[in-house]
Structures are given as structure tokens and as C-alpha cells.
């Protein structure tokens, strides 16, 4: 990191002094990290600022006394002479020198003898304490480095997008409530009693309107607001995304920009210095579900899923039965994951099987082939009579473990996906962990049968262009094809099993849009009522356009190698969307509520 020009209160920073500086009179400022006394007239102080630490050596009783009277974490100014250290510290950048102080001045006194936690061990403290005293937590260089990483990554993203001729355009924070997606945060409008603004869940409509306005390439490091529950990789309340949109663009145009922008940033700033190059693997959604058991595959793992329904359905193991006594199809499907070169214990298998049930909500089962080629363990007694057929169908070899899931297709696939992830990460030799493995998931279904309604509904984004355009919708309307077979020009960007982003080629044609909505029993008036600005804008000649919006917080979390997104946000909320440092959300006065024409109803 480049050092700042020194301001009046210091000549150097605490990470800067080296052996060539010996003999100089310098002024340093920073936080008094700790003090170690060695008798009444010798002591050592560690002074810390943003840039590093420097040792201050006290060699008189007066100076030891003076520093003892100052609480740790006070800010001080030290003026003194640089000299060579007799016992050097190779782990400290300034470990070859020390400063002998002539004057010490307290700039900001810490008034507490006890801190809520040790600054350099704040990551081991209780999370509530860390969030309440986040300004102390951020003094820990280990915590601070994630925020610095975030700044550098955002700057690199911004530069890369501008190098690709994208314009950074800010879109409104106060906007209209959207009927789609997650729950909005609402803001009462003082001048319009009974009406509310909403904080944008994403700049989706605005960026599409920019395309219709004749801007060719837009991007923004965009704040997004969603009133939804927290997860390890999702912050409640607000998050940021690298929002982008391109006019006169196809799916491949978006892919080429992202494949150019992200890998160098991941390789430079990531915990791992390897990242997929262009082109990323493109995996159709149905293939991903069948081969990996998930639409977020972790391509660092070499395990895949096979269908074992035909070979195992009549083996006699009751959960595998695909027909009832009356001969009706039970819709049970059987999925198998073959794990080669397996040398772990039965206890290891049992633990993983238990973990899989917790994560997927479904049971799995197993058998293995020993070194002699015999089927042993788990459901071996059902498999042994049809051993040759099973070995041939699944390609099993000695020392292979086979873990199986079953149930209706979606449940069997989901459980198989958890099997891949769990055994892939825990069995040595099946995961090349230290890299960033990107892929595109493409060809998402446009429609699905709603679980509650039992009728046709949009599967994901209703504004994606159906692959095949109007023709394919008309064919479905005439009954020539199954509406469920229609795919959308929609795509997800996945890295290491984490969804970084969704994107799509947008449906920019009002005629195609209305027909797409008619398929789910909504007409032109519904489209106009829900999305008036966008619908009207498209009627004035809109360009084909496409975009994507990778999550910045999630991206930095992956680069930092952190498991919790809160570690890379300067001032995060807790899991209940509370800022316990600022005491938000909080109550407001009756006068404020009156101005906003609002009454609150608080249930006991």
C-alpha cells in the first residue's frame, strides 16, 4: 500500500522506519497497544497506527512512570531518535529499529482501564461484543485488512469496468415499491400522506431504462436493500453489487466482459492465486442438477452424480421401490455418487451420512467394494445378488465407496448434491481446494408448476427473454410444445459452489412480454399496472439488452477466505438486522410520527 504524505503531527508512520533511518529525530502518532516493564527504569511500548507498529523504548524511571499512567489504546504522539534494536524482531516490519522518546504527548486519552476485548484477539471475542464495539474491533490489523481488501477490490472492479467503456451512473435510492422479489424497506413520504417510497432491492428497472435512453454500457457499485433474514453469505438489510447492463448485447457479450474482468481480480486479491480463465464452463441447468445435484456446483470437487434408478429399483431395498403393489409409478429416483480410493473408517462414513441428513433433510445409504472386489457394508445384502449389473452400470472398482440418495427427483438430486459436497470436501484427493473455479449455469426453465397453485408460474425472472422468443411462446399456447420445456436466456455465475450472480438477456419487446405473462394468466393491464415506466419505455423502441450483477460483499468474502459476510463489511448488522452499535432500528418521537401521518401499533 502506498504511504500517505505525512501531516503536521507526524514525520513518519508506524510501519515505515528501517535501518537507514537510524539517528533521525522522528515524530510518530498512534495508539498505545501495550507496555512491558522490565524494572523501574526500563520499559517497552508498542505504538500502532493504520500502517503498522513501532517499538518505543523507555530508559528512565520518569518515562516509565509517565507511560504507566496512560491507559492502553490512548492515542499519543512520540518524538524521539531512531536507533538499531539489539534484539531484532523478524516478524515486525520495523523490527530492526526502535525509537527512544524525548517527548510524549497524549492526544486522545482512553478513559477505561479495561477493554471489552484484547484488540489483537478481537476475532476470538463474542460476536455481540465485536459488533457493539466495532470501532475497537476494526483496530485489529487482522480485521482491518479485510476492509482494505474490499476497498482495493472495489477500485479494481471500477477501473476494469471503465476500461471496458462502461459509464458509472448512480440510480435513485428512494423509489417505488416493487411487487416482485423480496420484502421492501418502506420510507414514509411526509409530503404525500399515506404514500411510501421503497429502498431499491436492485437498480433493475432503472438500468433497463438507461438502455432505452441510449446509454450503451452502464455499471454501478450499487447498494441494494432487502428486508430478509441473514445467512452466512448474505447480509440482512443492505448489500452491494457490481451492477451492469449492455445495450445491443447477447448473453455471450455479458460473459466475455465478466470473464475478462473477474479472473485477474480473483487471482491478484484472492486467498488462492489461481482462477479459471475464459471461457468459463457453461453448464445447462438440467445437466447441473443431474450431474452435480445442484445449480451451484463446486468444480474444485471431482465427484459427480449418476442415475442408478434402472439398476437398483428392483433390488429389494424398500426405499428404492419405484412401483406400488398396484403397479403405479412412485416417482422414486435413485442417485449414486462413487467415491474412488476410499480408505476411511466406518465411523467416518456414519458421521458424513448423519451430516448429509441434517443438511438435506433426507436419508442416504451406502455400500462399498473392498480390495477383494466384494460388496460390503450398508445395504450390501441388497446389492450383492445383482453385483455384476451394478458394477457395470456405475463403473465401480475395488476400494470404491458408493453413497446413494432416493426420493422424488428434486429431493434425490438435492441429497446427491450434498453427498458430493460433503464427501468431496472430507475424503482426501477429491478436492483441488486452492483455486477459484468459475462456471456459468445456463438455460434455466422459464416456467414451473407452482407448489401451492398447481398452475404454471414464472420459475425465476419474468423479464428474461424466452429462448426462441415469440415463436416458442406461440407454440406452447397452441399445445405444440410443453410450456415447461421453454428455457430462458438467463444465467447464474457460480464460483466454488457459491452463486455470485444472476443475470439475463432482458425481454425488451412488449409483444413478447405480454405473451410471456399471458402464459401465467396475467394480461397486458397487469404488466402496465405493475411495471408502467418499463412497459411504456419499451413501446418507444428499446434495444436488445442484457446484464448481470455480481455481489460485491460475497465476492470479497470469497477473496478473503472468510466464512461469514460480516467479516468484510465495515459496520455490519447482526443476524436480526440490528445495528447494536448505533442502536438501530430505534424508536422515534411522536412528533416525527405525526409529521409523517403515521400511527404505530405495537403488539404486546
pLDDT digits (tens, 9 = 90+) for 295-325: 999 999 999 999 999 999 999 999 999 888 7
pTM confidence score: 0.91
**Domain co-membership, 175 together with 77:** no
Per the DSSP assignment, residues forming a β-bridge with 144 are none
Q: Do residues 426 and 443 both lie within one domain? A: no
Domain that holds residue 427: 301-431
146-183 tens-digit pLDDT: 999 999 999 999 999 999 999 999 999 999 997 667 88
Least confident of 205-209, 327-331, 488-492: 327-331
Residue 345 burial (CB < 10 Å; 0-12/13-18/19+)?
exposed
Q: In terms of domains, do 415 and 554 share one? A: no
Number of H helices, E strands in the chain: 18, 24
Whether residue 136 is contained in a domain is answered as no
Tell me the pLDDT tens digit for each residue of 116-147. 999 999 999 999 999 999 999 999 999 999 99
Please answer whether residues 70 and 76 qualify as being in contact, where contact means their C-beta atoms are separated by less than 8 angstroms. Answer: yes
Residue 123 lies in a domain: no
Number of domains in the chain: 3
Cα–Cα distance, 4 to 549 (Å, whole number): 33
Q: Are 444 and 575 contained in the same domain? A: yes
Domain end call among 86, 108, 130? 108
Of 203, 197, 159, residue with least CA distance to 177: 197
Task: Judge whether 101 lies within some domain.
Answer: yes
Would 234 be classed as within a structural domain? yes
Task: Indicate whether 2 pLDDT > 60.
Answer: no
Residue 255 lies in a domain: yes
More confident residue, 9 or 251: 251
Shared domain check, 307 and 278? no
Same structural domain for residues 178 and 263? yes
pLDDT band of 604, cuts 50, 70, 90: low
Q: Residue 225 above 80 pLDDT?
A: yes
Distance, in Å, from the CA atom of 31 to the CA atom of 579, rounded to the nearest integer, reads 26
CATH number at residue 25: 2.40.50.140
Segment 344-368 mean pLDDT: 96
Degrees to nearest 5, angle at CA 601 with 596 and 603: 155
On whether both 382 and 466 belong to a single domain, the answer is: no
Task: Tell me what the mean pLDDT of segment 418-435 comes to.
Answer: 96
The CATH number of the domain where 357 resides is what? 3.30.1360.30
* Beta strand extents in 248-339 (DSSP E only): 281-284, 305-307, 333-339
Are 379 and 311 contained in the same domain? Answer: yes
| Cα–Cα distance for residue pair 3/356, rounded to 1 Å | 49
Mean pLDDT score of the chain, rounded to an integer? 94
Residue 60 has pLDDT above 80, yes or no: yes
Measured CA to CA, the distance from residue 201 to residue 190 in angstroms comes to 22
- 506-532 tens-digit pLDDT: 999 999 999 999 999 988 898 888 888
Whether 185 and 199 have beta carbons less than 8 Å apart is answered as yes
Report pLDDT digits (tens) over 526-547.
888 888 888 999 999 999 999 9
Say yes or no: 325 and 422 in one domain.
yes
Of the pLDDT bands very low, low, confident and very high (cuts 50, 70, 90), residue 329 is confident
**Domain presence at residue 126:** no
Residue after which a domain boundary falls, among 401, 431, 461:
431
Domain for residue 5, yes or no? no
One domain for residues 476 and 582: yes
> Residue 203 belongs to a domain with what CATH number?
3.30.930.10
Output the pLDDT for position 169. 98
Whether residue 124 is contained in a domain is answered as: no
Taking residue 548's Cβ as centre, other Cβ atoms within 10 Å add up to: 23
pLDDT tens digit string along 388-416?
A: 999 999 999 999 999 999 999 999 999 99
CA–CA–CA angle 18, 22, 24 (5° rounding): 110
405 and 492 belong to one structural domain: no
Q: Which of 51, 85, 108 is the last residue of a domain?
A: 108
Q: Are residues 235 and 363 in the same domain?
A: no
Say whether pLDDT at 1 is over 50: no
pLDDT grade for 603, boundaries at 50, 70 and 90: confident
The C-alpha angle 429, 430, 435, rounded to 5 degrees, equals 100
**DSSP states along 83-106:** EE-SS--TTSTTTTEEEEEEEEEE
Amino acid at each position: 500500500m502506498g504511504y500517505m504524505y505525512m501531516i503536521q503531527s507526524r514525520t513518519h508512520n508506524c510501519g515505515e522506519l528501517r535501518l537507514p533511518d537510524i539517528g533521525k529525530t522522528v515524530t510518530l502518532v498512534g495508539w498505545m497497544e501495550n507496555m512491558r516493564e522490565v524494572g523501574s527504569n526500563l520499559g517497552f511500548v508498542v505504538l500502532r497506527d493504520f500502517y503498522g507498529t513501532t517499538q518505543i523504548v523507555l530508559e528512565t524511571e520518569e518515562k516509565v512512570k509517565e507511560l504507566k499512567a496512560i491507559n492502553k489504546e490512548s492515542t499519543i504522539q512520540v518524538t524521539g531518535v531512531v536507533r538499531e534494536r539489539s534484539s531484532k524482531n523478524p516478524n515486525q516490519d520495523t523490527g530492526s529499529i526502535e525509537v527512544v522518546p524525548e517527548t510524549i504527548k497524549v492526544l486522545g486519552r482512553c478513559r477505561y482501564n479495561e477493554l471489552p476485548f484484547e484488540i489483537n484477539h478481537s476475532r476470538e471475542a463474542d460476536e455481540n461484543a465485536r459488533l457493539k464495539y466495532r470501532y475497537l474491533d476494526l483496530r485489529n490489523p487482522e480485521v482491518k485488512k479485510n476492509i482494505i481488501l474490499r476497498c482495493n477490490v472495489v477500485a479494481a472492479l471500477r477501473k476494469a469496468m471503465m476500461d471496458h467503456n462502461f459509464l458509472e451512473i448512480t440510480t435513485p435510492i428512494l423509489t417505488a415499491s416493487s411487487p416482485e422479489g423480496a420484502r421492501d424497506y418502506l420510507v414514509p413520504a411526509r409530503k404525500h400522506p399515506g404514500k411510501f417510497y421503497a429502498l431499491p432491492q436492485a437498480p433493475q428497472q432503472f438500468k433497463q431504462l438507461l438502455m432505452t435512453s441510449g446509454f450503451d454500457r452502464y455499471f454501478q457499485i450499487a447498494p441494494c436493500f432487502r428486508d430478509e433474514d441473514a445467512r452466512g453469505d448474505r447480509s440482512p438489510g443492505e448489500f452491494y453489487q457490481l451492477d451492469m447492463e449492455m445495450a445491443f448485447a447477447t448473453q455471450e457479450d455479458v460473459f466475455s466482459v465478466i470473464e475478462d474482468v473477474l479472473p485477474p481480480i480473483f487471482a491478484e486479491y484472492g486467498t488462492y492465486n489461481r482462477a479459471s480463465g475464459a471461457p468459463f464452463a457453461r453448464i445447462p441447468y438440467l445437466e447441473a442438477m443431474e450431474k452435480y445435484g445442484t445449480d451451484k456446483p463446486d468444480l474444485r470437487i471431482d465427484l459427480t452424480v449418476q442415475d442408478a434408478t434402472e439398476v437398483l429399483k428392483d433390488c429389494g431395498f424398500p426405499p428404492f421401490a419405484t412401483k406400488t403393489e398396484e403397479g403405479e409409478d412412485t416417482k422414486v429416483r435413485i442417485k449414486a455418487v462413487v467415491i474412488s480410493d476410499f480408505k476411511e473408517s466406518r465411523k467416518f462414513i456414519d458421521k458424513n451420512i448423519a451430516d448429509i441428513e441434517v443438511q438435506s433433510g433426507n436419508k442416504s445409504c451406502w455400500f462399498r467394494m473392498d480390495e477383494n472386489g466384494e460388496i460390503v457394508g450398508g445395504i450390501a445384502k441388497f446389492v450383492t445378488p445383482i453385483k455384476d449389473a451394478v458394477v457395470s452400470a456405475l463403473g465401480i472398482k475395488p476400494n470404491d465407496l458408493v453413497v446413494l440418495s432416493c426420493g422424488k427427483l428434486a429431493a434425490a438430486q438435492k441429497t446427491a448434491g450434498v453427498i458430493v459436497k460433503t464427501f468431496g470436501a472430507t475424503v482426501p484427493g477429491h478436492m483441488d481446494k486452492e483455486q477459484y473455479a468459475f462456471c456459468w449455469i445456463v438455460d434455466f426453465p422459464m416456467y414451473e408448476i407452482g407448489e401451492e397453485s398447481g398452475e404454471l408460474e414464472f420459475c425465476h425472472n419474468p423479464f428474461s427473454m424466452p429462448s426462441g422468443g415469440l415463436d416458442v411462446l406461440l407454440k406452447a399456447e397452441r399445445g405444440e410444445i410443453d410450456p415447461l420445456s421453454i428455457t430462458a436466456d438467463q444465467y447464474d455465475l457460480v464460483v466454488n459452489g457459491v452463486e455470485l450472480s444472476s443475470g439475463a438477456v432482458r425481454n425488451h419487446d412488449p409483444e413478447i412480454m405480454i405473451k410471456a405473462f399471458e402464459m401465467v394468466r396475467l394480461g397486458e393491464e397487469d404488466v402496465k399496472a405493475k411495471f408502467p415506466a418499463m412497459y411504456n419505455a419499451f413501446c418507444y423502441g428499446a434495444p436488445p439488452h442484457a446484464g448481470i450483477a455480481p455481489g460485491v460483499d460475497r465476492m470479497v468474502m470469497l477473496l478473503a477466505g472468510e466464512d461469514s459476510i460480516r467479516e468484510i463489511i465495515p459496520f455490519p448488522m447482526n443476524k436480526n438486522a440490528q445495528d447494536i452499535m448505533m442502536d438501530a432500528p430505534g424508536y422515534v418521537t411522536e412528533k416525527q410520527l405525526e409529521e409523517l401521518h403515521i400511527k404505530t401499533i405495537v403488539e404486546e
